[in-house]
Structure 1
Amino acid sequence: MPISIKSEKEIKLMEESGRILAKVHEELEKLIRPGITTLEIDKKCYEIIKSFGCIPSFLNYNGYPASLCISINDEVVHGIPDTKHILKEGDIVSLDCGVIYEGYHSDAARTVPVGEISEEAKKLIEVTKQSFFEGIKFAKAGNYLHEISEAIQTYVESFGFSVVRDLVGHGIGRNLHEEPQVPNFKQRNRGPKLAPGMTLAIEPMVNAGRCDVYWLDNDWTVVTEDGSLSAHYENTVLITDNEPKILTIL
């Protein structure tokens, strides 16, 4: 599949999709407190997305049963909301969400603290977020995709953390997952040349321990093999003639 270059009209729709998703995340973060179940958060997420006249990207995507992926502590991604998972003081929780606005997807993730958290957890969240911004310094027309990937890995590993290898970012637009894949680690080849109108979901997934992960029996939830904490930070990014535009930050 060729990489989709968005028209001006498509970019405007994706900008609005991203703006709405940023607002959804803003509201979701207000809900995070000890004692709330992940199912309660997911139900609220569904209501918020619908209130904007949008459709949750994730709900029923390849059979996924919720509007939001909620991953706690050693869960890397795709934690399924339910009544059994109750947030407690000291947890870190990753909220990964997407919306469809007039046929166009946006995708973003944030890792947030539940009350007071450890210094290591704070550092992991901070480094994961900053690694995204280190990566997008290279998200410019004329550069190659591998420059983003390498910058993310280099930054993360300078703090003694590791980048997950089994999962990557992706192109996005009329489909939630489009070409190209966007790894968070150095590649053997340069990957595609970046061009104005490309839209990418860039999403570092960073473990406090080793990079190894495995899938739980539900076939969705990915956890760290060594039980270490994991954080996730993602935005939908537009490649322009100049600096990249982050569509999912207000």
Structure 2
Amino acid sequence: MLRRSIYKTPAQLRSMVEPGLITAASLDAVRDMIAPGVTTGELDAAAARIISGRGAESNFQMVRGYRHTTCVSVNEQVVHGIPGDRVLEPGDIVSIDSGAQFRGWNGDSAITIVLPDPSRPELVAERETLSQVTEGSLWAGIAAMATANHIGEIGAAIEAHIAASGHGYGILRDYVGHGIGRKMHEAPSVFNYRTPDPGPRVHPGLVLAIEPMVVAGSEETFIEDDDWTVSTVDGTSGSHWEHSVAIHDGGIWVLTAADGGAAGLAPFGVRPVEIG
């Protein structure tokens, strides 16, 4: 059996632009409405309206046994939280993961939002810092991808950024990023930490979903009784940020960011180049 190459052609890369933008738009809709009193199911419905309204499909619903458009993980839940009737409360830290398939190509992205709570400013500040460090590590990994020779350099950059924060955060080891294209989850794996194996080469045609999953305490997790939700054993908060990113002949482009990643990459001195 022939193995499909992990590298896409220029035409295939162009086909991945629209599903990335649709995915980004679905998360924008969630960001606009997230607030105390809103249910996680309502957030899911908002993302679903955007995806279907732009002629795409939820690729999460193509995963066997999963019926929702997004994953919504709250507080100690790090990833794969099932949206439903849970009502968000002030001070919650909420990670939303969404994805769209458009004309056979996929996008995948995640954001974390901390809800304000004037009565608990210290908790909110702690959770905001966790989210900021996680997002920063995502952009550190994307910036590394722009100049990397091998995929392993991405994970090393993510881990280094988190370690440099000095907060002692844990990085999930059992859940990693991945290639993306015709399927939402493709080879290769993208670790969020340094590994002995340098991994495949980074060169034009590579598209990765980079997604650090970071926790305030121990990295030890368990799967809840719903068989999906991944939560911390010690009950500390989690944060999840993700982008789908392409390397092409002209440079790097973040498919799930409306600006191609310009704002996030600017602190690293990297300028994205639009896919031609």
Match of 1:69 in 2: 71
Aligned length: 249
Distance apart, 1:240 and its partner CA: 2.4
Question: Structure 2: where are the runs of 5+ without partners?
Answer: 118-122, 259-276
Q: Distance in 2 between matches of 1:133 and 1:223?
A: 24
The CA deviation at 1:178 is 0.4
Measure, in 2, the Cα distance between the counterparts of 1:143 and 1:30. 38
C-alpha distance 81-207 of structure 1, shift in aligned 2 (>3 A)? same
Q: Do the aligned partners of 2:171 and 2:192 also contact (CA within 8 Å) in 1?
A: yes
Q: 1: CA distance between counterparts of 2:37 and 2:78?
A: 21
Amino acid corresponding to residue 19 of structure 1 in structure 2: L
TM-score norm. by structure 1 comes to 0.95
Q: Percent identity?
A: 38
Match of 2:44 in 1: 42
Question: CA-atom RMSD, angstroms?
Answer: 1.4
Alignment match, 2:188: 180
Q: 2 CA distance for matches of 1:123 and 1:170?
A: 26
The CA deviation string for residues 102-156 of structure 1, in whole angstroms up to 9 with x for no partner, is 1100000000122346111010010000101111222136611111001101111
Gaps of 5+ in 1: none
The offset of 1:16, in angstroms, is 1.1
Corresponding residue number in structure 2 for 1:137: 143
1:6 to 2, 8, 21: 8
Distance 1:157 1:142 in 2: 20
Aligned residues of 2:209 and 2:243 also touching (Cα < 8 A): yes
Pairing 1:15-94 to 2, within 5 Å after superposition: 15-83=17-85, 85-94=86-95
Q: Aligned pair 1:200/2:201, yes or no?
A: no
The change in CA–CA distance for 1:149 and 1:142 in structure 2 (over 3 A counts) is closer
- Counterpart for residue 125 of structure 1: 131
CA distance in 1, matches of 2:146, 2:201: 9
Task: Confirm or deny: 8 A CA contact 1:3 1:180 kept in the other structure.
Answer: no
Which structure 1 residue ranges, 4+ long, deviate > 3 Å from structure 2?
A: none
In structure 1, distance between residues paired with 2:243 and 2:78: 16
- The equivalent residue for 2:236 is 228
CA–CA distance in structure 1, aligned partners of residues 138 and 148 of structure 2: 19
